[in-house]
């Protein structure tokens, strides 16, 4: 079955500390992988995406993610968290075929402590 | 271009009433998607259009739900005889037809059925 697992429901990180959010996927085809961020009451904003090539991808707001095919993982990282990063983060997987829906994980809520 | 626009932002309705939501995609995007997001969950795919053609519907889209995109521009999602279980955030997204390039999401319509 196709699925995305985000093992951590809620993470609290001190401001200035590093962050890693985990994402594991199960997908039959070559996966296209995404991380989105959602602030309360808002839609989703694309942070970064991986289609092919370099397995370390850079995104907006200083985020990066590494695709590890052998581990079926696409973990999101940030070296130094800012209070404004507090939000909900969703990992998603899709395929290149036209019209394929994205499959989302249940999300990880990030809280930032001062 | 102001991105993907959804109206209304919030809707409170009584059980059994019909509701309709509107989505205006990015003008050059020919693909439009509807997702539903319940509390504590990631978005779940409902349906998508390429231009005016509805090409796929999820089994989540019961007979009480209908979506249209009559001129290949804006889309409407109607829920008939609403139930409390329909309470959710309804998200619209748009993209270009060439593959899953990361959708642009709207801010969503929050539906509360009382």
Q: Indicate the pLDDT class of residue A97, thresholds 50, 70 and 90.
A: low
B54 touches A: beta carbon within 8 Å? no
Smallest Cβ–Cβ distance between A99 and the set B42, B56, B58 belongs to: B56
B106 touches A: beta carbon within 8 Å? yes
List of chain B residues whose C-beta atoms are within 8 Å of the C-beta of residue A97: 99
**Is the Cβ–Cβ distance between B19 and B78 less than 8 Å?**
yes
With a pLDDT cut of 70, the percent of chain B lying above it is 94
- The whole-number pLDDT of residue A52 equals 84
CB contact under 8 A, B105 and A45: yes
Please write the tens of the pLDDT for every residue from A25-62: 998 878 889 999 999 878 899 999 998 888 999 999 99
- The whole-number pLDDT of residue B56 equals 87
Q: Indicate the pLDDT class of residue B28, thresholds 50, 70 and 90.
A: confident
B88 touches A: beta carbon within 8 Å? no
Phi, psi of A103 (to 5 degrees): -110, 125
Please write the tens of the pLDDT for every residue from B44-70: 999 999 999 998 899 888 899 999 999
> What is the secondary structure of B55-112 as a DSSP string?
EEE-TTS-TTEEEE-TTSS-EEEEESS--GGG-EEEEEEEE-SSS----EE---EEEE
CB contact under 8 A, A90 and B58: no
Q: Indicate the pLDDT class of residue A1, thresholds 50, 70 and 90.
A: confident
- The whole-number pLDDT of residue A98 equals 53
Coil/strand/helix, residue A78: strand
CA closest to B46 among chain A residues: A101
CB contact under 8 A, A102 and B105: no
CB contact under 8 A, B42 and A107: yes
Q: Which residue has the higher pLDDT, A30 or B112?
A: B112
The mean pLDDT of A68-93, rounded to a whole number, is: 96
The mean pLDDT of A75-91, rounded to a whole number, is: 97
- Tokens 């809620």 locate to A10
Q: Which residue has the higher pLDDT, B72 or A4?
A: A4
Q: How far apart are CA A87 and CA A47, in angstroms?
A: 12
Mean pLDDT score of chain B, rounded to an integer?
Answer: 91
With a pLDDT cut of 70, the percent of chain A lying above it is 96
Q: Indicate the pLDDT class of residue A4, thresholds 50, 70 and 90.
A: very high
- The whole-number pLDDT of residue B97 equals 66
Q: How far apart are CA A2 and CA B59, in angstroms?
A: 16
Q: Is the model's pLDDT at B93 over the cut of 90?
A: yes
Q: How far apart are CA B87 and CA B75, in angstroms?
A: 20
The mean pLDDT of A99-104, rounded to a whole number, is: 82
Among B103, B106, B112, the strongest candidate for a mutation testing the A interface, having the largest count of A CBs within 10 A, is: B103
Coil/strand/helix, residue A39: coil
Among A43, A46, A92, the strongest candidate for a mutation testing the B interface, having the largest count of B CBs within 10 A, is: A43
The mean pLDDT of A89-113, rounded to a whole number, is: 87
List of chain A residues whose C-beta atoms are within 8 Å of the C-beta of residue B34: none
Q: How far apart are CA A92 and CA A106, in angstroms?
A: 10
- How many C-beta atoms lie closer than 10 Å to residue B40's C-beta? 10
């Amino acid at each position: 079955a196709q699925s995305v697992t985000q093992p951590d429901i809620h993470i609290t990180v001190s401001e200035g500390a590093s962050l890693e959010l985990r994402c594991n996927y199960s997908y039959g085809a070559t996966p296209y992988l995404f991380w989105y961020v959602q602030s309360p009451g808002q839609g989703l904003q694309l942070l970064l995406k991986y289609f092919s090539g370099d397995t370390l991808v850079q995104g907006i707001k200083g985020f990066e993610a590494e695709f590890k095919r052998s581990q079926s993982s696409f973990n999101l990282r940030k070296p130094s968290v800012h209070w404004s990063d507090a939000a909900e983060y969703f990992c998603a997987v899709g395929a290149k075929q036209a019209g394929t829906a994205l499959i989302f994980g249940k999300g990880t809520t990030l809280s930032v402590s001062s | 271009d102001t991105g993907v626009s959804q109206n209304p932002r919030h809707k409170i309705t009584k059980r059994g009433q019909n509701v309709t939501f509107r989505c205006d995609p990015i003008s050059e995007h020919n693909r439009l998607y509807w997702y539903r997001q319940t509390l504590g969950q990631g978005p779940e795919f409902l349906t998508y259009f390429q231009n005016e053609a509805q090409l796929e519907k999820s089994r989540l889209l019961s007979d009480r739900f209908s979506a249209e995109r009559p001129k290949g521009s804006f889309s409407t999602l109607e829920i008939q005889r609403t139930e409390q279980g329909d309470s959710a955030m309804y998200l619209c997204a748009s993209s270009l037809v060439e593959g899953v390039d990361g959708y642009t999401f709207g801010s969503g319509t929050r539906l509360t059925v009382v």
